[in-house]
Amino acid sequence: MHPSVEAFALAAGLLALGAALVHRFGFPPLPVYLLTGLLVGQRLPVQDLEPLPSLGLLLLLFSVGLEFGPDRLKGLSGKAVQAGFYDALALPLGFLLGLLAGLDLRGAALLAGAIYVSSSAVIVKLIIDLRRVANPESEVVLVTLVLEDLVVILLLALLGGQGPEGVIVSLLLGGIYLFLANLFGYRLVSFLESLSDELVLLLGAAFTTGTALLFHALGVSESLGAFLAGSLAASLGLRERFERLFGPVRDLGVALFFLVVGASARDLFQGLTPALVVLALLGLLVKLPLNFLGGARAGLSRKRRLYSAFYLVPRGEFNLVLGALAQAQGYPLVAQVAVLLVLLSVPLGALLIRFAPELGRLLLRETPSPRRPARSS
């Protein structure tokens, strides 16, 4: 039997066991995938798992792009966008932390991105699972996440390719894609409606990976290419169908990607120092007051502001993308902080979100509203 099949069977079994353990407590499985890689990475031939982890990452970024259709962007609330601007102040603060840590400008920018961006995958799942979508703070949080993802995509364009030239190439390619979509989009959508789900899945996978390869060949971040493919699909009205078709494949690939990152992070943490832990904790805490102030700007009550600050604690997928990019460009400190942020923030953030009402009453010294006695008929 091929070694890749043996590696996949072992990896899938370990990931399923870890996910089952945390599922009963209502926590997201992403940190378990990382911890699994840290614990068994040396005994598991993760190199035999490719290309599934890399494909999972591209499909994850494609799914993020699906959230950026014109309908979603036009529906952004003005007050919630103002909260996102407060949240974005974490970028200059993270950049300053990077400079103080001895990084050059590029390294400090990578660190700022890792400190700034929260995990859309973790936060949205928790909001849905806890049935808090209709809460007023959830709209503010979701709009903030949209703005964060847009900013980080721009960072990837600047830092993952050829700098400003990469941004220009990205804009040109994006313009060409949009022109072709406007020219042939209606006929393409009509054509896809007549095809089976299996064929649409294959065509979508070919389009996503092909776009990523094209961007990579031109010296631009392949992550940006996958994101653009998703955004273009959303603009054509294909969001729901692609989300349904790609969801299971994406989730499997993302689980393997986190496992591989955890396995590679083992070597990163051999040089773990107290200063590095302090830097990660500062990066974790810096956004809490900013998001509390942003919630006030969005018109939330004190309690809801606190909830919104808690919701934005988890870091995740983009932190690992930035960490992998930093490691490839010779910034192991940034890679260490990025992975450590994920390991610390996802379980902590899950707890904060899960028990936000109880923590709100404790921190704000509020008492639960007494129930009104039922009226007698």
Please give the structure tokens belonging to residue 361. 């009453």
Closest by CA to 51, choosing from 246, 219, 249, is 249
Q: Would you tell me which CATH number, out of the four given (3.50.50.60, 2.10.25.10, 3.40.50.620, 1.20.1530.20), belongs to the domain 3-358?
A: 1.20.1530.20
CA pair distance 216, 213, nearest whole angstrom: 5
Q: Of 161-170, 210-219, 290-299, 300-309, give the lowest mean pLDDT range.
A: 161-170
pLDDT digit string, tens, across residues 4-43: 888 888 888 888 988 888 777 767 677 788 788 888 877 7
- Report the pLDDT value the prediction gives residue 376, as an integer from 0 to 100: 45
Which residues touch 43 (CB under 8 Å, ≥6 apart)? none
Interatomic CA distance for residues 345 and 351, integer angstroms: 10
Residue-wise pLDDT for 326-360, tens only, equals 888 889 889 889 988 988 888 888 888 888 888 88
pLDDT digits (tens, 9 = 90+) for 105-138: 999 999 999 999 998 877 887 787 778 888 888 8
Its pTM surpasses 0.85:
no
pLDDT band at 368 (very low <50, low <70, confident <90, very high): low
